[in-house]
Amino acid sequence: MKKLTLAIAFILTSIISNLANAQNSATGSAEASVTLITPISITKTADLSFGTFVASASSGTITLSPGGVVSTGGGVTEISGGDVSAAAFSVAGETGQSYQITLPSADVILTGTAAENSLTLNTFTSNPTDTGVIGTDGTVSVGGTLTVPANSQADTYTGTFDVTVNYN
């Protein structure tokens, strides 16, 4: 009888032990998904052109708004007939997605044909200002302020700058 009781106790212990081990782990499942959207792109459609000016013995500034409006300060005088345009960029991507606009934060140097001739472009502004929405704000217009040192030489000054757009 003792052997039978011991055998039954051993069997019950094994069953209880297996049940306890079965309850120590569990498995769950989840689905994985992703939505890929059209990459964002930016394409220049117009260059930033301040127009035609005359420098003087005093330094001055030329400011061009994103709307294409020119204003001057100090020793520069605008001459009519020069091409004036804000820079323009076409932004494309996934319709309805918002994007961030990053303008240059550092000075951009415009150089003339002679190495010593240079002007400084900075204080960039845009429309839209900081963010846009693909399909609503398809064009980003950019303006800035050009500093013209006193006695700047007659020349054609050029330089490049970057505008970056990123999805929010």
- Condensed to tens digits (0 to 9), the pLDDT of residues 7-60 reads 565 565 665 555 555 568 999 999 999 999 999 999 999 999 999 999 999 999
Q: Domain count for the chain, please give it.
A: 1
Neighbours of 105 (CB within 10 A): 7
Q: What percent of the chain has pLDDT over 70?
A: 86
Tell me what pLDDT residue 1 has: 54
pLDDT higher than threshold 60 for residue 4: no
Alpha-carbon span 168 to 160, nearest angstrom = 26
Which pTM does this prediction carry? 0.82
CA dihedral sign of residues 128, 102, 85, 66:
positive
Tell me what pLDDT residue 6 has: 54
Task: Tell me, yes or no, whether 150 lies in a domain.
Answer: yes
Tell me what pLDDT residue 112 has: 95
Task: Tell me, yes or no, whether 139 lies in a domain.
Answer: yes
What's the domain range around 88?
Answer: 41-167
Mean pLDDT of 85-90: 98
Task: Tell me, yes or no, whether 47 lies in a domain.
Answer: yes
CATH number where 53 lies: 2.60.40
**Cβ neighbours for 76, distance < 8 A, ≥ 6 positions apart:** 53, 54, 55, 56, 60, 61, 62, 148
Alpha-carbon span 66 to 90, nearest angstrom = 14
Task: Tell me, yes or no, whether 71 lies in a domain.
Answer: yes
Tell me what pLDDT residue 116 has: 84
pLDDT higher than threshold 80 for residue 115: no
Task: Tell me, yes or no, whether 10 lies in a domain.
Answer: no
Whole-angstrom CA distances from 20 to 14, 28, 58, 105 are 10, 19, 91, 65
Mean pLDDT, all residues of the chain: 91
Are the C-beta atoms of 154 and 114 separated by less than 8 Å? no
Alpha-carbon span 154 to 157, nearest angstrom = 9
pLDDT band at 81 (very low <50, low <70, confident <90, very high): confident
